C-alpha cells in the first residue's frame, strides 16, 4: 500500500490518544541471573522498544486505531530510534517531546535460563512528562474517542490529561500498571487508603488492572471471578464506571452498572506472556472507540492478547488487525 493510501485510511479510523512511557529495553539472556557482585560471561544481548505507553500505542495502532502518542524521550540515539519506530507504525508523534536534559527511559533486563527475569528501570525523560506537555497537546484531544494511560509517568500529569479528556468528551482507559505499592499493613482488608486518588478514578471510564494490580488497589486477594467482582465493586464505589480485571489464562472479568461477567480467554499454546496486558489494552481501546459493545470489545482484546502470548517479545508479538479478525473468525 502506498503512503497516501495508508494515511487516508488512518483518517477514518477511531482516534486514540495515549499518554505514557517510552523505554528502550536492554536485555541480556544468561544461564541464570547474576547475584550482587557477580559477573557471568557468555550472555546474549538484544534491544527492544518498550515502555507500557509505547507498547499500548503500538497495540492500538496495529489493531486499527489512528494513534497519537504523548510522551517524552531523550535527545539521544534511543529517542531517535523510538520515534523512528512510532513513525513506522503510523503513530502520530507531533506531541512527543524531546527532553533536553534527561535520557530516554531505559529498562535493563536480565533473563535467566528458566525464563525468570530481573529488571531495573531508569525512568529518565518519562519522569519529566508534565501537565504543561499535556496542555500543549490540547488540540489532539478534540475529536479523539479514547484517552489511554498507565502508571509509568507522573500522576499529576495523568490527572491533567484526565481533566482535559472529561472536558473534551473522551472516555478514559486507565491501566493501573505497574502495580501501585500495596496499602500499608495497618489498612483493614479491602477498606483503606490507596495510592490512586479518587479525583483521578472519578474520571476513569474503564480501569483495567490485572489480578496483582487489583489487589494492590483494593487489598482484596483477586484469585477468582468472585474476588474480582468484589474488587471491581469497591473500585466502582470510588468512582470508576467500568472495571475490567485481566486474569491471565482465565480471561477478563468485566463489571459495570449493568453486568458482572467473566469473558473467557482463548485457548492457545502460550510461550511468552510479556506485554499480554499491553496488547489487551491497545486492542480494547480500538474496539471501544469503534463503538463495539463492552463484551464484544473484551472478546476482541482477549483475541489480540491470546495471539501475543503465542509469540516471543513485547512489541514484536503484538498482532495486526487482520490477524485478530482471522483469529476471531476461526475461534
Ligand atoms: P498482564 O500481562 O498485565 O499481567 P494478564 O496476565 O491478565 O495481564 O493478561 C492479559 C490478557 O492476556 C488476559 O486477560 C488474556 O486475555 C490474555 N492472556 C494472558 N495469558 C494468556 C494465556 N495463557 N492464554 C490465553 N490468553 C492469555
Q: Rounded to whole angstroms, how far apart are CA atoms 323 and 307?
A: 8
Candidates 175, 164, 116; CA nearest to 140 is 164
- What is residue 138's predicted lDDT score, i.e. its pLDDT? 97
The number of beta carbons lying within 10 Å of the beta carbon of residue 145 is 19
- For the chain, percent helix, then strand, then coil, each to nearest 5? 40, 20, 40
Percent residues over pLDDT 90 in the chain: 85
Distance 316 CA to ligand 1 centre (A): 16
What atom of ligand 1 comes closest to residue 301's alpha carbon? 16
- What is residue 194's predicted lDDT score, i.e. its pLDDT? 62
Q: How far is CA 79 from the centre of its chain?
A: 20
Per-chain mean pLDDT for the chain: 92
Contact criterion met (CB below 8 Å) for 282 and 65? yes
- What is residue 217's predicted lDDT score, i.e. its pLDDT? 95
Cell of 16: 486514540
Give me the active site residues, please: 278
Q: What is the 3-state secondary structure (H, E, C) of 259-322?
A: CEEEEECCCCCCCCCCCHHHHHHHHHHHHHHCCCCHHHHHHHHHHHHHHHHCCCCCHHHCCCHH
| DSSP 3-state of 120 | strand
pLDDT tier at 115, thresholds 50, 70, 90: confident
Candidates 182, 180, 53; CA nearest to 107 is 53
Candidates 180, 240, 233; CA nearest to 210 is 180
Q: What is the pTM of this model?
A: 0.92
pLDDT higher than 70, residue 303: yes
228-237 pLDDT per residue, tens: 999 999 999 9
Q: Rounded to whole angstroms, how far apart are CA atoms 4 and 10?
A: 10
pLDDT higher than 60, residue 299: yes
- What is residue 187's predicted lDDT score, i.e. its pLDDT? 52
What atom of ligand 1 comes closest to residue 274's alpha carbon? 2
Radius of gyration of the chain (CA): 19
Q: What is the 3-state secondary structure (H, E, C) of 7-51?
A: HHHHHHCCEEEEECCCEEEEEEECCCCCCCCCCCCCCEEEEEEEC
- What is residue 9's predicted lDDT score, i.e. its pLDDT? 44
Average of per-residue pLDDT across 307-330: 94
Distance 311 CA to ligand 1 centre (A): 13
What atom of ligand 1 comes closest to residue 211's alpha carbon? 7
pLDDT tier at 193, thresholds 50, 70, 90: very low
66-104 pLDDT per residue, tens: 999 999 999 999 999 999 999 999 999 999 999 999 999
pLDDT higher than 70, residue 5: no
Distance 99 CA to ligand 1 centre (A): 34
Residue ranges around ligand 1 (CB below 6 Å):
177, 210, 246-249, 251-252, 265-266, 268, 270, 273, 276-277, 280, 302, 305-306, 309
Take atom 13 of ligand 1 and give the residue whose Cα is closest. 248
More confident residue, 306 or 274: 306
Contact criterion met (CB below 8 Å) for 34 and 60? no
- What is residue 4's predicted lDDT score, i.e. its pLDDT? 40
- What is residue 273's predicted lDDT score, i.e. its pLDDT? 87
User: Best substitution site from 280, 281, 301, 310 to test ligand 1's pocket, by max atoms within 8 Å of Cβ?
Assistant: 280
**Which domains are delineated in the chain?**
2-330 (3.40.1190.20)
- What is residue 134's predicted lDDT score, i.e. its pLDDT? 98
Amino acid at each position: 500500500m502506498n503512503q497516501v493510501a495508508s494515511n487516508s485510511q488512518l483518517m477514518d479510523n477511531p482516534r486514540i490518544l495515549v499518554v505514557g512511557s517510552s523505554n528502550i529495553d536492554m536485555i541480556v539472556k544468561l544461564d541464570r541471573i547474576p547475584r550482587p557482585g557477580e559477573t557471568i560471561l557468555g550472555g546474549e544481548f538484544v534491544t527492544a522498544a518498550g515502555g507500557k505507553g509505547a507498547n499500548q500505542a503500538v497495540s492500538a495502532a496495529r489493531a486499527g486505531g489512528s494513534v497519537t502518542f504523548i510522551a517524552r524521550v531523550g535527545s539521544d540515539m534511543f529517542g531517535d530510534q523510538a520515534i523512528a519506530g512510532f513513525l513506522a507504525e503510523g503513530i502520530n508523534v507531533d506531541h512527543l517531546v524531546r527532553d533536553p536534559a534527561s535520557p530516554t527511559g531505559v529498562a535493563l533486563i536480565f533473563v535467566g535460563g528458566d525464563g525468570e527475569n530481573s529488571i531495573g528501570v531508569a525512568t529518565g525523560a518519562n519522569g519529566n512528562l508534565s501537565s504543561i506537555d499535556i496542555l500543549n497537546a490540547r488540540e489532539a484531544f478534540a475529536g479523539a474517542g479514547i484517552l489511554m494511560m498507565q502508571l509509568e509517568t507522573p500522576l499529576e500529569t495523568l490527572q491533567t490529561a484526565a481533566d482535559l479528556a472529561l472536558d473534551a468528551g473522551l472516555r478514559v482507559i486507565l491501566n493501573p500498571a505497574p502495580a501501585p505499592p500495596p496499602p500499608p499493613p495497618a489498612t483493614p482488608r479491602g477498606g483503606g487508603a490507596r495510592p490512586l486518588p479518587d479525583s483521578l478514578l472519578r474520571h476513569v471510564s474503564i480501569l483495567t488492572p490485572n489480578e496483582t494490580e487489583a489487589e494492590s488497589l483494593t487489598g482484596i486477594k483477586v484469585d477468582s471471578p468472585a474476588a474480582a467482582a468484589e474488587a471491581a465493586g469497591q473500585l466502582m464505589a470510588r468512582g470508576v464506571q467500568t472495571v475490567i480485571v485481566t486474569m491471565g489464562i482465565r480471561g477478563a472479568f468485566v463489571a459495570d452498572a449493568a453486568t458482572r461477567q467473566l469473558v473467557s480467554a482463548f485457548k492457545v499454546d502460550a510461550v511468552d506472556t510479556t506485554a499480554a496486558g499491553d496488547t489487551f489494552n491497545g486492542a480494547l481501546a480500538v474496539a471501544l472507540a469503534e463503538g463495539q459493545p463492552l463484551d464484544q470489545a473484551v472478546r476482541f482484546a482477549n483475541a489480540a492478547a491470546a495471539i501475543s502470548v503465542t509469540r516471543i517479545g513485547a512489541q514484536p508479538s503484538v498482532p495486526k488487525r487482520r490477524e485478530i479478525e482471522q483469529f476471531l473468525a476461526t475461534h
